[in-house]
C-alpha cells in the first residue's frame, strides 16, 4: 500500500486504539460515523436522563401537592362531620324546645280563653242592665274598661329565626305562664265579686215601671191624712193619663203570680231572690206567666183600670222580706 493510500485510510478513522492482550496486539479503528453514532447515542441517553429526572421531580412535586391537598380535604371533612354532628344535636334540642313551646302556647291560649269567657259574661251582664240604673255611670265605666281591655299578652320582640333563641322564648313563655296564672286568679276573683255585685244590683228594684212620672197616690201605710187622700196605701199609683202603655219589670227575677184579683185586677208579682218582691196591678193585659224568668226592662203587661180602679194607672208595690217599702226610695232619682 502506498503512502498516499495509508494517509487516506488513516483519515477515514476518527480514533485508533491499540490493545495488547496475551501478547497479541489488536488495533481498533473508530471511523467518524462511529463517533457520530456514539455522540448521538450519548446525547439521546443524556437527554432522556435529564427528561426522566425532570419528569420524576415534577411527578414527585405533584404527588406531594396531592398528598397535602388530600390531607387538607380530610381535615375539612372532619370539620364538616363535627359541624354536622353539632347541628344535629342542636336540631334535636331545638325540636324539643319547639314542642315545649307549643305545649306552653296551647296552655296560655286556654287560660286566655277562660279569662275572655269571664270577661264576655261580665259584659253581657252589664249590657243587660237598664240604662236607667242609679249606678249607670259606674257600669258604663266598667263596660268601657272591658271593651278596651286586651286579655291577650304582648310578647317581647324575640328573634326566633335561630335555633338557639328557642330556649329564650321558652323561658319567656314560662314567665308569661306564671304571670297569666297570677292574673287569671286575680281576674277571676275580681270577676266573681263583680258578678255578685252586678247580680245583686240587677235584682234590686230600681227605676220607674212605666214611662209616666205622674204619681196620683203616694205610699201611705199608716193612713197619714197629710199624704195624698189620707187612705192607707201600700204602694204607689202612677197615672198614665188615660193611655194604655207598657209596664216593665224594675228588676230581674221570676214571675210567681200572674192572675186576676177583685181588688188588684190583673196583676203580676215578681220574686227577685234577695228578699225583694215587686207587684204591678190594674193591668189591661198580662204578657207573662207564672215561672217566667224576666230581666229588668222586660215588658210584663200594660196599664189599665181592672179591679178597684178609678183611672188608667199602674199600682206599684215593693216588699223587702215581707216589709212594704216606699217605691220612691227605689226610683233612681
Helices 32-128 and 166-202, axial angle in degrees (round to 10): 10
pLDDT tens-digit map of 101-152: 777 777 777 777 777 777 777 767 666 654 445 455 555 555 555 555 554 4
The pTM of this model reads 0.47
Give the count of beta carbons closer than 10 Å to the beta carbon of residue 331. 20
Which residues 6+ apart lie within 8 Å of 25 measured at CB? 18, 19
Phi, then psi, of 217 in degrees rounded to 5? -140, 125
pLDDT along the chain (333 residues), means of 10: 52 60 66 72 80 82 86 87 84 75 74 75 64 51 55 45 56 67 62 61 88 95 92 96 95 96 97 94 97 96 95 96 94 77
CA 30 – CA 10 distance, rounded (Å): 10
At 23 the pLDDT is 65
What is the structure's pLDDT at 18? 63
> Could you give the CA distance from residue 234 to residue 227 in angstroms, rounded to a whole number?
12
- CA-nearest of 119, 175, 172, 177 to 150 is 119
Topology given in CATH for the domain delimited by 214-330: Glucose Permease (Domain IIA) (2.70.70)
Looking at residue 138, what is its pLDDT? 52
Residue ranges, CATH 2.70.70.10, the chain: 214-330
Rounded Cα gap, residues 192 and 122, in angstroms: 9
Instruction: Tell me which residue of 196, 291, 287, 213 sits closest to 249, measured CA to CA.
Output: 287
Distance (Å, rounded) from C-alpha 178 to C-alpha 167?
17
- What are the grid coordinates assigned to 15, written together? 480514533
Q: Is 179 helix (H, G, I), strand (E, B) or coil?
A: helix
- Residue 158: per-residue pLDDT: 43
Quick: pLDDT tens for 182-222. Answer: 666 556 666 666 655 665 667 899 999 999 999 999 999 99
Amino acid at each position: 500500500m502506498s503512502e498516499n493510500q495509508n494517509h487516506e485510510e488513516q483519515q477515514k478513522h476518527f480514533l485508533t486504539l491499540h490493545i495488547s492482550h496475551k501478547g497479541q496486539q489488536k488495533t481498533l479503528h473508530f471511523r467518524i460515523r462511529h463517533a457520530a453514532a456514539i455522540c448521538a447515542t450519548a446525547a439521546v441517553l443524556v437527554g432522556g436522563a435529564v427528561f426522566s429526572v425532570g419528569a420524576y421531580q415534577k411527578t414527585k412535586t405533584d404527588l406531594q401537592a396531592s398528598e397535602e391537598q388530600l390531607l387538607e380535604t380530610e381535615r375539612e371533612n372532619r370539620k364538616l362531620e363535627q359541624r354536622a354532628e353539632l347541628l344535629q344535636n342542636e336540631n334535636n334540642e331545638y325540636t324539643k324546645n319547639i314542642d315545649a313551646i307549643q305545649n306552653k302556647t296551647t296552655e296560655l291560649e286556654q287560660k286566655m280563653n277562660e279569662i275572655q269567657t269571664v270577661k264576655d259574661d261580665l259584659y253581657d251582664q252589664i249590657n243587660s242592665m237598664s240604662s236607667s240604673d242609679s249606678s249607670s255611670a259606674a257600669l258604663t265605666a266598667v263596660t268601657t274598661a272591658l271593651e278596651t281591655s286586651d286579655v291577650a299578652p304582648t310578647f317581647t320582640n324575640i328573634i326566633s329565626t335561630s335555633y338557639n333563641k328557642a330556649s329564650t322564648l321558652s323561658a319567656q313563655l314560662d314567665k308569661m305562664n306564671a304571670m297569666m296564672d297570677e292574673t287569671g286568679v286575680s281576674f277571676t276573683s275580681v270577676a266573681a265579686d263583680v258578678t255578685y255585685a252586678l247580680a245583686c244590683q240587677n235584682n234590686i228594684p230600681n227605676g220607674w215601671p212605666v214611662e209616666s212620672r205622674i204619681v196620683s197616690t203616694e205610699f201611705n201605710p199608716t193612713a197619714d191624712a197629710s199624704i195624698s187622700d189620707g187612705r192607707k196605701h201600700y204602694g204607689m199609683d202612677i197615672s198614665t193619663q188615660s193611655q194604655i202603655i207598657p209596664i216593665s219589670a224594675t228588676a230581674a227575677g221570676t214571675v210567681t203570680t200572674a192572675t186576676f184579683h177583685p181588688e188588684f185586677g190583673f196583676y203580676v208579682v215578681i220574686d227577685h231572690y234577695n228578699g225583694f218582691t215587686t207587684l204591678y196591678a190594674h193591668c189591661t193585659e198580662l204578657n207573662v206567666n207564672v215561672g217566667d224568668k224576666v230581666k229588668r226592662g222586660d215588658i210584663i203587661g200594660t196599664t189599665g183600670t181592672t179591679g178597684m180602679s178609678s183611672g188608667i194607672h199602674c199600682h206599684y208595690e215593693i216588699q223587702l222580706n215581707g216589709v212594704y217599702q216606699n217605691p220612691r226610695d227605689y226610683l233612681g232619682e
